[in-house]
Chains A and B, each alone.
Chain A
Amino acid sequence: MGFRNIIGRRLGLGLVRRRKPFSTATCDGDGNGNAKSINLYSAINQALHIALETDNRAFVFGEDVSFGGVFRCTTGLADRFGKARVFNTPLCEQGIVGFGIGLAAMGNRAIAEIQFADYIYPAFDQIVNEAAKFRYRSGNQFNCGGLTIRAPYGAVGHGGHYHSQSPEAFFCHVPGIKVVIPRSPRQAKGLLLSCIRDPNPVVFFEPKWLYRLAVEEVPEHDYMLPLSEAEVIRQGSDITLVGWGAQLSVMEQACNEAEKDGISCELIDLKTLLPWDKETVEASVRKTGRVLISHEAPVTGGFGAEISASIVERCFLRLEAPVARVCGLDTPFPLVFEPFYMPTKNKILDAIKATVNY
């Protein structure tokens, strides 16, 4: 209950206090025009409707998308745009993504849906070896920039081994693609439209926990949010927290509790993981001197490691404490042990205190 309000209120305020203007936005995304209170899957649905409306060579395909998808993100698309543009594929992720690359190479906008991010691994080869390198190895004669791959990722409470994984780290290691993760419905719509229209292949991970839980005022018109710009969603002076996706809400709760102990936390949403906005994070760390990164994926080799290494490179003398990472454990994603595996609010709070009192 408080959680929803947090997302609604905090993010709204964060947008007003942003330091950089949205460079590619067609509006300021601040609720100009009609804004309705909708959840994440509806926001994504709206974004897809707009994307298909504004480009008649855009396609949405994947497993079960024509009836609306298992998370209802693609409802109404097949009825409105026809089965030639919104269609089901057989159950072959490698085929889906490879086929999408081909569509994109011929100038179409291919929006592929992978039903769960856990199933993206058969397509990993196509993404890493083909999508990421297409422009590079053809000398810019061809490119698959029109490809956007959407996949629900992250823990959902009861997903178990194969419905809860966060594979963003694997993709962040691949030069040539972009990795984008929204935190809320308004961000999701703007970011997804930017991803679809971005001239590079993008992997867009949607936090499945938030599909129904996150509700926010989302403008109904077409707007885009810039990629590769991190956002400071809460100002603070004692420690910088960096995260993305559903984890931000957990970090937000930890920040609120830390505030009661007098620790003022600055919370940054990376939004785009690859290429990520180093300047914003660096500026924040220069202000606070401490940084904590949190993500659901296992800690070893997770994206937090990259952020940590970059920050240390840039801000070594400014750091007052080691970079803290509060992440999932180094085990396969468990079923019954999920609460112990996850980087929960208490773990983050402990780490905040430890870092501040270092």
Chain B
Amino acid sequence: MCLQLTYVVKSGLVGFPLHQLNTKILPTLSATIPTPFPLVFSAPIVSFLSFIFSSPLSLPSSPPIFSPFPSSLPIRKKMATAFSPSKFAAQPFPLNTTSQNNPLTIPTIASPFLGSTRKLIRLCSSSNLNLRRRSGTVVAVSDVVKENKSKSTPNLLITKEEGLELYEDMVLGRAFEDMCAQMYYRGKMFGFVHLYNGQEAVSTGFIKLLKQQDSVVSTYRDHVHALSKGVSARAVMSELFGKTTGCCRGQGGSMHMFSREHNVLGGFAFIGEGIPVATGAAFTSKYKREVLKEVDCDHVTLAFFGDGTCNNGQFFECLNMAALWKLPIVFVVENNLWAIGMSHLRATSDPQIYKKGPAFGMPGVHVDGMDVLKVREVAKEAIGRARRGEGPTLVECETYRFRGHSLADPDELRDPAEKAHYAARDPITALKKYLTENNLTSEADLKAIDKKIDEVVEEAVEFADESPVPPRSQLLENVFADPKGFGIGPDGRYRCEDPKFTEGTAQV
């Protein structure tokens, strides 16, 4: 019976993701997937990998080594579970029949601005028809693999340009973070620095689909989100060094990357604090479109956060608000299984975070976050939903951080076997393999990109080194809107320029 459900595109894209599987750990299985539940996609059906899950109660008390959903657990012989298309359905029927949830009854809301759910149901039912027509296209995995061998390039997920763009972005993220580590150990930057190695597929997969006016809200692990969104490597590196040319003029450091130009609404040191901010930003774009009638304002907001945050009250509050008001937001969970030293499985009653989406009335999607193409396909759909005004989506990306929580973390708690498992699924290597195997590009091109990125990062470091340190007066700026409110004394000069303001014992 089904151990896993794989929805494959008719065009046989599945060749790529399958190669990524360590089949000993995650046995794939072929089955025709009956689809009694509707898919709301208007885009071609995409392929997702999903894991099966048994009831949380049967999880072992110590976390399994490789994946949250090890195949050694008793598999319930049920049909379409986990990742089924109904995750995108308006009616949040959880397909995992081991759960006790009842289908929600969706209340209707009268206000036209905040949307009526009646419309949504009707939309859903029309696409039901679409889906039933399409359900014939869902084929067994093994069939499609065979098909793939005879198909040619037009069935690939990306074009050469897109592929190179994704590759470049991921390599930039990786090279930048590695350089950060070097600089930290040389004492050029200080503070708490959290690196993103290993999770690049999520950032690239999602953010490369955004426009400049779309907003991104991140966590303390935000360097790569800022870079993917378009903030220059120089600005981010200078910010890390605490220089005036940094994106926040050196004020915040590693965990506080903001950019007005690229609509990066911040890194947030505090977990979960960014999610309500993202919700507010999404509301603004919906308001502008529907009330102020700026028709081309279809800006989407992405909120990135981790697995630990999903146990925090702010997360749930925002899921509720976003679903209630059908905000154009995508909640992206970067589930890297660890919150400093706390395993996600030991901290969460139901570790399958995407199931929390349907509980609030929005689709919940699980995707393999180490595979940029899969993430991109899911992101396309989720962002598309938000742009069309269909409301929020919760996307859980299963990913992994190759380094410790921060540069001060000795990273002793994680099983080396687990680390090795995910290191073998390095998103950059995977994409490289995909691009070369499908003849989208050559090794030489990719090496040229690597070299170019190395130069960019080195230049960023030089730039940051040579940039000036902010003047002391900057300390008192921007506390309030009016700088004279606090930082300026009665003689009109900044208080810190007053001769009585004594020099500190350290030079900055």
| Chain A contacts for B256, CB-based, 8 A | 160-161
Q: Are B479's CB and A330's CB within 8 A? A: yes
Residue of B339, B479, B505 most packed against chain A (CB within 10 A): B505
Q: Are A340's CB and B475's CB within 8 A? A: yes
Looking at the assembled complex, report how far the CB atom of A209 sits from the nearest CB atom of chain B, in whole angstroms: 14
Q: Are A344's CB and B502's CB within 8 A? A: yes
Looking at the assembled complex, report how far the CB atom of A36 sits from the nearest CB atom of chain B, in whole angstroms: 25
Q: Is B84 an interface residue (CB 8 A)?
A: no
Looking at the assembled complex, report how far the CB atom of A183 sits from the nearest CB atom of chain B, in whole angstroms: 20
Q: Are B269's CB and A163's CB within 8 A? A: yes
How many residues on the A side are at the interface (Cβ–Cβ under 8 A)? 38
Contact of A346 among B269, B496, B502 (CB under 8 A): B502
Contact of B475 among A70, A158, A337, A345 (CB under 8 A): A337
- Given the interface pairs A122-B313, A335-B251, A340-B504, the reply to whether A160 lies near B192 with Cβ below 8 Å is yes
Q: Are B250's CB and A336's CB within 8 A? A: yes
- Given the interface pairs A90-B308, A340-B475, the reply to whether A346 lies near B505 with Cβ below 8 Å is yes
Q: Are A91's CB and B339's CB within 8 A? A: yes
- Given the interface pairs A91-B347, A94-B313, A340-B475, the reply to whether A335 lies near B505 with Cβ below 8 Å is no
| Chain A contacts for B348, CB-based, 8 A | 90
Bound-state CA distance A344–B253 (Å) is 23
Q: Are A350's CB and B502's CB within 8 A? A: yes
Q: Is B476 an interface residue (CB 8 A)?
A: yes
A344-358, CB < 8 A from B: 344-347, 350
Q: Are A118's CB and B270's CB within 8 A? A: yes
Q: Are B190's CB and A158's CB within 8 A? A: yes
Q: Which residue of the partner chain A has the closest CB to B505?
A: A344
- Given the interface pairs A336-B470, A346-B503, the reply to whether A92 lies near B508 with Cβ below 8 Å is no
Q: Are A337's CB and B508's CB within 8 A? A: yes
Q: Are B505's CB and A339's CB within 8 A? A: yes
Q: Is B115 an interface residue (CB 8 A)?
A: no
Q: Chain B 444-475, CB within 8 Å of chain A: the 1/0 string?
A: 00000000000000000000000001101011
Q: Is A138 an interface residue (CB 8 A)?
A: no
Q: Are B475's CB and A329's CB within 8 A? A: yes
Contact of B191 among A64, A329, A331, A335 (CB under 8 A): A335
Residue of A89, A340, A345 most packed against chain B (CB within 10 A): A340
Q: Are A70's CB and B340's CB within 8 A? A: yes
| Chain B contacts for A335, CB-based, 8 A | 191, 242, 250-253
Contact of B476 among A160, A163, A329 (CB under 8 A): A329
How many residues on the B side are at the interface (Cβ–Cβ under 8 A)? 48
Bound-state CA distance A335–B255 (Å) is 11
- Given the interface pairs A88-B347, A91-B308, the reply to whether A158 lies near B192 with Cβ below 8 Å is yes
Q: Is A244 an interface residue (CB 8 A)?
A: no
Contact of B496 among A160, A340, A350 (CB under 8 A): A340
B491-506, CB < 8 A from A: 496, 500-506
Looking at the assembled complex, report how far the CB atom of B313 sits from the nearest CB atom of chain A, in whole angstroms: 6
Q: Is A334 an interface residue (CB 8 A)?
A: yes
Looking at the assembled complex, report how far the CB atom of A73 sits from the nearest CB atom of chain B, in whole angstroms: 14
Q: Is B309 an interface residue (CB 8 A)?
A: yes
Q: Are B340's CB and A340's CB within 8 A? A: no
- Given the interface pairs A70-B340, A350-B500, the reply to whether A331 lies near B479 with Cβ below 8 Å is yes
Q: Are A339's CB and B342's CB within 8 A? A: no
B271-314, CB < 8 A from A: 271-272, 308-309, 311-314
Contact of A339 among B190, B255, B313, B506 (CB under 8 A): B506
Bound-state CA distance A287–B451 (Å) is 72
Q: Which residue of the partner chain A has the closest CB to B189?
A: A158
| Chain A contacts for B508, CB-based, 8 A | 336-337, 339-340
| Chain B contacts for A346, CB-based, 8 A | 502-505
Looking at the assembled complex, report how far the CB atom of A263 sits from the nearest CB atom of chain B, in whole angstroms: 17
Contact of A161 among B252, B347, B496 (CB under 8 A): B252
Q: Is A63 an interface residue (CB 8 A)?
A: yes
| Chain A contacts for B255, CB-based, 8 A | 160-162
Bound-state CA distance A344–B252 (Å) is 22
Q: Are A159's CB and B504's CB within 8 A? A: no
9 contacts between A and B (CB under 8 A): A90-B347, A90-B348, A91-B339, A160-B191, A160-B254, A336-B250, A345-B505, A346-B503, A350-B502
A residues sitting closer than 8 Å to B (CB atoms) are 63-64, 67, 70, 88-92, 94-95, 118-119, 122, 157-163, 329-332, 334-337, 339-342, 344-347, 350
Given contacts A64-B339, A336-B469, 16 further A-B contacts (CB under 8 A): A63-B340, A64-B341, A90-B342, A90-B347, A91-B308, A119-B270, A160-B191, A163-B192, A331-B476, A331-B487, A335-B252, A336-B242, A336-B253, A339-B508, A340-B472, A340-B504
